[in-house]
Copies of this chain bind each other. A is one copy, B any other.
Amino acid sequence: MKATILTIGTEILFGTIVNTNSVFLSRQLNDLGVDVLRHITVGDNRGRLLKALQEAYEDCDLVITTGGLGPTEDDLTKETIAEFFGTELVDHPEELEIIRKWFESQGRVMAPNNVKQSWFPKGSVILPNPNGTAPGFYLSDGKRHIYVLPGPPRENVPMFRDHVAPRLSAHEDGFLFYKIIRTTGIGESDLETKLLDLIDNQTDPTIATYAKPFECTFRVASKRATLKEAQDAVEECMIKIRELVGEYIYSEDDKELIEIMMAELKEKGLKLACAESMTGGMFAKMITDVPGASKVFSRGVVTYCNEAKTSELDVKPETLEKYGAISAQTAEEMVRGLNLYSGCPVCISVTGNAGPDADEGKPVGQFFVGLMFCGKVTVKEFRANRNNRNYIREFACYQMVKTVHNALQSID
């Protein structure tokens, strides 16, 4: 099947919200072997919505829409889709009852305009939405299929998984298998150059490279009659790829460096603690984003002001005085103090200048990462080459993860 993802919502054209639905749906559809040919976003506008549907079905047999199912005046998705399929909206009292009950369960009273959420195009299969007021629906004339889902991800994600994916798997012909390979230490065009022969001399598997923040990834994908054939084709290609760029690969199954680092800590039974100045909790947050982080993460301290570095981590006032908070010496004392208080075998610290302005005469983007690993302390200086606060902080967290990861390799 070939699909167009159609997003409906003026707020996206205003740039008020990010279109994460298209990201989720694209990934899911690709995993199911559906080729996503196009994303289109239009406002709540009948004419452009009709035109988008027209365009979509010129080369696709599947359209998935999100948005425009709200109770408000400007939501006209259902009317327009009914018109496009040459049918009309019909009332579903049983759905209205469900919507009314949903409001009750939330301890809220249903607003009158929610009634229109129980109207659907004649002949559509209604897709229940346990997480919101707007049910979705599936409509088809045999050749053209459309799944219509609400906009909020917390509503459409489970709806896709429970009601759309199973129906799609039923239609699918070939099987797609792909691997996302993660590398570090090589740029996109160098990576592409090294893989060029492979990329040029085959149509399946396909290889596509992407630049990501701080690293490069690529996708090796094959679509064959059976899943086994697709897997074998990808694996065969991987053998050549490992010969060409193996030294830069750190993951062959799209695992992030942080996941790998945490799995290694768990496997080795080592506990981690962190002391953050510049990153202000971002590193601890990244670690605890992962469920089960408590198995490897003991604690973090965010010593944002100098006085906190002294009282929480025993950083000497003279050190702060003489070398400044942004210094190798401070990074070292932070990590030693952290180890003393936490007793963790793996302690990491960071101090630096995330900008926007020079601080203590230290340039924006300069930072120091301290590591105390099984009794041994090392400090490394880094420099982010961009004056962007968020970029610098994320880059620092990435280097902290890489530092721990590398240390863990050393004791393999």
Q: Kindly state the separation between the CA atoms of A51 and B108 in the bound complex, as whole angstroms.
A: 47
Interface residue A386 (Cβ < 8 Å from any Cβ of B): yes
CB of A301, distance to nearest CB on chain B (Å): 6
Interface residue A244 (Cβ < 8 Å from any Cβ of B): no
Which of these binds chain B: A5-13, A255-263, A314-322? A5-13
CB of A270, distance to nearest CB on chain B (Å): 14
Interface residue A72 (Cβ < 8 Å from any Cβ of B): yes
Pick the contact of A20 from B13, B18, B106 — CB < 8 Å? B18
From known contacts A48-B38, A304-B299, A305-B294, infer whether A15 and B11 are also in contact, taking CB-CB under 8 Å.
no
From known contacts A19-B22, A59-B48, A342-B308, infer whether A287 and B293 are also in contact, taking CB-CB under 8 Å.
no
Interface residue A329 (Cβ < 8 Å from any Cβ of B): no
**Which residues of B have CB within 8 Å of A23?**
12, 15, 17-19
From 272 to 286 in chain A, residues with beta carbon under 8 angstroms from any chain B beta carbon are: 276, 279-285
For this complex, into which size category does the number of interface residues on chain A fall?
A: 35 or more
B37 touching A40 by the CB < 8 A rule? no
14 sampled A-B residue pairs with Cβ under 8 A: A13-B38, A13-B39, A14-B30, A71-B189, A111-B190, A111-B192, A276-B281, A279-B285, A280-B289, A281-B281, A281-B283, A281-B302, A282-B285, A282-B288
Residues of A within 8 A of B (CB): 7, 10-20, 22-30, 36-43, 45, 48, 51-52, 55, 58-59, 70-74, 106, 108, 111-114, 131, 133, 152, 154, 180, 187-190, 192-193, 196, 199-200, 208-212, 217, 219, 276, 279-285, 287-289, 291, 293-294, 297-305, 307-308, 311-312, 341-342, 355-356, 385-386, 388-391
